[in-house]
Amino acid sequence: MAIVERLVDLILWPPLFYYIIFPGLIFVMIFEIFLIWSERKIAGRVQMRYGPLEIAPRLAGAPQLLADLIRYALQEVIIPRTVDKLPFVIAPIAAFVIALMPLIVTPFSPTFLPVTTEGSILIAAALTTIPPLLLILAGWASNNKFSLVGSARESFLIATYEIIILLVIASMSFLYGTLDFLKAVEVQQALLWGILLNPIAAITYFVAVMMGTSRFPFEIAEAESEIVMGAFTEYSGIMFGLAMGISYARMFVYNIIFVLLFLGGWSPLGGIVTGNYILDSIILPGASVAIKAVLISLLMVFTRAVYGRYRIDHALKGGWGFWFIMALVSIGLSAAVVYLMEVF
Amino acid sequence: MSQQSQILTRRLDKDILEVFIGPQHPGSGHMRIILRVDGDIIVEAEPDIGFVHRTMEKLAEGREWVKNQPLFERMAILDAANCTLGYIMAIEKLLGIEPPPRAKYIRTILAELNRIASHLYGMGIFAILLGHSTMYMWFFGDREVFVELAERLTGQRLTHSFFWPGGVRRDLPSGFKDELEKGIKYFEKRLKEYEVMFLKNPVIRSRLEGVGYISRQKAAELGIVGPNIRASGIRHDVRIEEPYAAYPELDFEVPIYKEGDALARTLQRVDELRESLKILRQAVNRIPEGPILHERYLKMFTKVLKDVLETEKRVKLAPALFNLRPPKGEAYARVEAGRGEYFYYVVSDGQNKPYRVRVVSPSFRNSIVFKYVLPGHRVADLPAIYGSIDYFPPEADR
C-alpha cells in the first residue's frame, strides 16, 4: 500500500498536479476534445447536419477527436528531405508547450497557484507572444511556398493583434493598479467585473484574440482554399495533430486571462465555503474560471458558422485602423475610470 | 541538341515567386493555375487546363447516336440535362423532327431544375472557397430538393439520360405538380435566409465587392458566356436569342448586372435562381396534354411498347430507336446551360454513328478569365474570382 500512497502523493504534489493535470496538459486536452466536439456539433446544427456521430453515437460522437488523435499518433510522421529538420521538428512541439506556459502564473483560486509573483500579468502576456514566432519558424523551415506565404501572413497578423492585446492588458492593469492577477480579481470582487468597468477593452481583447488564434473570420494564416494549411502544410501525423491543437491551446490560455481580467475570475463559485479544503480552494473556483473560459471559447468558435474569411489586407486595415484605436481608447477609458474612483 | 534542352524554361524576374495552385490543392479543382506573385500581388496567371480531358469528341464517333448522351452527361454531371439537350436538339435538326409540345415543356422543367441545382452547386463551392462553411452546407442541402425532384421526374438523381430525339422518356409523374410547388415554396423561403447569411454578410461582401471586375467591353472581348457575361451588363442568353424547348411560350426575364465584379456575379446567380423558379411554376401550370414522343416513332411501336407507354407513361426503349440513321448533313444547336452557352455541331454521314461531334462548353470559354482578370489582384482574391466564375474543370476539358 505504501506504493499507492507514494503514487497518490506524487500525483497530488502541487507542481506535478498543476503542470500535468489541472490546469495543465490533461485538462487542456479534455478542454480541446470538448471544445472541438462542441464546435463541430454547433456548426452541424446550424448547417442542417449531424456533426460527429460515428464514434460512440450514444455520446453524440464526443470521443471523435480522441479517435482522430489515435489515428494521428499511429500515422507516419513524414519529414520531407528538403526541410530544415531541427526547426521543423522543434517548432510545433515548442509552440504547443510554450502556448500552455502562461498557465504557470494564472491563478485558478486565491490559494491555488504554483508561482506567486507580483508581475504575473506581465509574465503571462509576455509568454503568449512567443508561440506565433515558432509558427513563423515552422513555415520558414518547411521549405514550401504555401508554408512561406502562411508564415508571412502570420507575421503580418502578429504585428497587429499582439500590440492590441498588450495595450488592452496594459489598460486593465492600469485600471486595477496592479500587474498581479490575484489583485486584479480582488479589485473586481470589490468593485465590478472588468467587462463592466471597461467594456471597450473587453470587446477589443475578444476580437484581437480571435485574430490571434485563427478563428473565423480571421482564419487567414491557414486559409485552406488559398494556402492549403499555411505554415503547417508539410506536417503529417502527430505533428499535424499537435499543430492543429496549438491555436486551441492558445485560445484557452487567452480566455483564462480574459476571465481573470474581465469576468471576475473565480467570482460566483469561489465565494462558497463548504469547509472541504480541496473543494473550496481548487474545484469550485477552478471550475468557475474554467467554465467561463469554455463559454467564451464557444462564443469564439461559433463565428465559424456565421462568417467567411477576411482577406489579409482587410484584417490588417481593421486591426490597425479600428481596433488599435479602440485599444488606445480603452486606455483612456481606464484612466477615466481610475479618475472617477479617485473622486468618489 | 539533347533532349533536355528542349524543355521550355523561363527565367523569373527578381522577387517574383511562382506558385502552383493545383491540381492537388484544396481550392483548385481539377486544374492548375500557375501564379507569379510579387509579394501578395499576382503579376501573371496562367490557367493550365486539361487534367480531366477524356477525348469525348473522339469517343462520340465510336458510339451510336443516342448512346452518346450518357457520355456527354459526364461533362457537367450536375447539369446533365442542359448539357445534353443541345446534342439531342442537333440530332433532331438532322432528322428534321420537332418534339411534341408536352415533351418540350417537360424538357424545360428538367432543364430549369438542373439549372437551379447547378447554380447551387457552384455557389456552394464558392462559399467554402471563401471559408463560409454554413452556406456551403446550405447550398448543397437545398440543392437536394431539386435533385430529388429531378429524380421523381426521370428516375435518376444526376445522370438522367432523359431526352430522346423527338421527345422525352417519361411523362410527368402523378403528383409532381404539388411536389414541385412545395419545393419552390421552400426554396423561396430559403432565398431570404441566404440573403441574410451570405449576400448581406459584411465579411463576404468585403471579399467580393470590386474584386475580379470585368468591364462590359472586356467581357465581350474575352467571349465569356453565361451568368458571368450577364453580370457584366451584356444580355446574352440563348433562351432569348435562339429560343428552344418551351422557352418562347414562357414569360421570364433575363436579369443583368452592370457592376461586373464578383459580387455582381453572385447576385446574378441568385436572381437567375428566382427566374428559374418562375419558369418552373409557369411550365408546370401551362403544360399541354399530348404525346411525349414524336409520332414518327410512336408509329413504329409494337403493342407491348404502346401498352407500357399507356399504362406506365414511359417510353420503353425500342431497338429501332438505338439505330437512328440521320440523313447526311450537318447541324448545330445552342443551349443555355447553368454556366452558359453550350454549342454542339454534329456531322452525319448517314451511318448509325456520328461522323463528328464538336462541343464547345461554357466553362472552356470562361477559363480565359483567369489569365486576364487575375493579374493585379491579391493571392487571397483567387478563391473569390475562381468561385464567382463558377468554373467547372470537367466541363471545360471534355
Of B17-31, B74-88, B337-351, B355-369, the one with minimum mean pLDDT is B17-31
User: Average of pLDDT values for A131-140?
Assistant: 88
In chain A, the number of structural domains is 1
What pLDDT is attached to residue B1?
45
A62-98 confidence digits (pLDDT tens):
888 888 888 888 988 888 888 888 999 898 889 988 8
Of the candidates A224, A308, A313, the beta carbon closest to that of B378 is on A313
The dihedral through the CA atoms of B317, B323, B328, B332 has a sign that is positive
A331 domain residue, yes or no? yes
pLDDT digits (tens, 9 = 90+) for B275-328: 999 999 888 888 888 888 888 777 777 777 777 777 777 777 777 777 888 888
Are B42 and B378 spatial neighbours (Cβ–Cβ below 8 Å)? Answer: yes
B19/A226 Cβ within 8 A = no
Return the percentage of chain B with pLDDT > 90, whole number.
15
Does A311 reach chain B within 8 Å, measured CB to CB? yes
Task: Report the sign of the C-alpha dihedral through residues A69, A73, A76, A82, in that order.
Answer: positive
CA torsion, points A178, A180, A186, A187, in degrees to nearest 10? Answer: 20
A105 vs A4: CA distance, rounded Å: 30
Q: Contact B197/A306, CB-based, under 8 Å? A: yes
Tell me the pLDDT tens digit for each residue of A204-254: 999 999 988 888 888 888 877 778 888 888 888 888 888 888 888 888 889
Q: How far, rounded to the nearest angstrom, does the alpha carbon of residue A95 sit from its chain's CA centroid? A: 12
Q: Write down the pLDDT at residue B147.
A: 92
Dist. CA A186–CA A120, nearest whole Å: 14
Q: Calculate ∠ Cα B141-B25-B361, nearest 5°.
A: 65
User: CB–CB of B230/B255 below 8 Å?
Assistant: yes
Per-residue DSSP letter, A57: G
| Nearest-angstrom CA–CA distance, B18 and B21 | 10
B102's enclosing H/E stretch is: helix B101-129
Q: Flag whether pLDDT at B218 surpasses 50.
A: yes
Residue of B27, B138, B380 lying closest to A224 (CB–CB): B27
Let me know if residue A3 belongs to a domain. Answer: no
Cis check for the bond before A107: say yes or no (omega within 30 of 0): no
Looking at CATH, the fold of the domain delimited by B64-389 is given as Cytochrome-c3 Hydrogenase; chain B (1.10.645)
Contact list, B377 vs chain A (CB under 8 Å): none
Domain that holds residue A286: 82-343
In which region does residue B329 sit, left (phi positive, over 0), alpha (psi from -120 to 50) or beta (all else)? left
Residue A187 lies in a domain: yes
Check if A232 contacts B (Cβ < 8 Å): no
Residues B352 and B325: beta-carbon distance below 8 Å:
yes
What does the radius of gyration of chain A's CA atoms come to, in whole angstroms? 21
ipTM summary value:
0.83
Q: Does A321 touch chain B (CB under 8 A)?
A: no
pLDDT single digits (tens) A278-327: 777 777 888 888 888 889 988 888 888 888 888 888 888 888 989 999 99
Read off the pTM: 0.87
Q: Which pLDDT belongs to residue A204?
A: 92
Beta-strand relationship, B41-48 and B356-360: unpaired
pLDDT at A161 over 70: yes
pLDDT of residue A66: 86
Q: Is the pLDDT of residue B191 over 70?
A: yes
Query: pLDDT of B127-177, one tens digit each?
Result: 988 888 888 999 998 999 999 999 988 888 888 888 888 888 888 888 888
**Residue B9: pLDDT band with limits 50, 70, 90:** low
Q: What is the mean pLDDT of chain B?
A: 86
The sheet carrying B329-337 orders its strands as B329-337, B340-348, B356-360
Residues of B in contact with A149 (CB under 8 A): 19, 379
Cross-chain residue pair A311–B382, CB shorter than 8 Å:
no
Q: Which residue has the higher pLDDT, B116 or A230?
A: B116
The values of phi and psi at residue B298, to 5°, are -60, -35
Q: Between β-strands B329-337 and B167-168, what pairing exists: parallel, antiparallel or unpaired? A: unpaired
Nearest CA distance, B378 vs chain A (angstrom)? 9
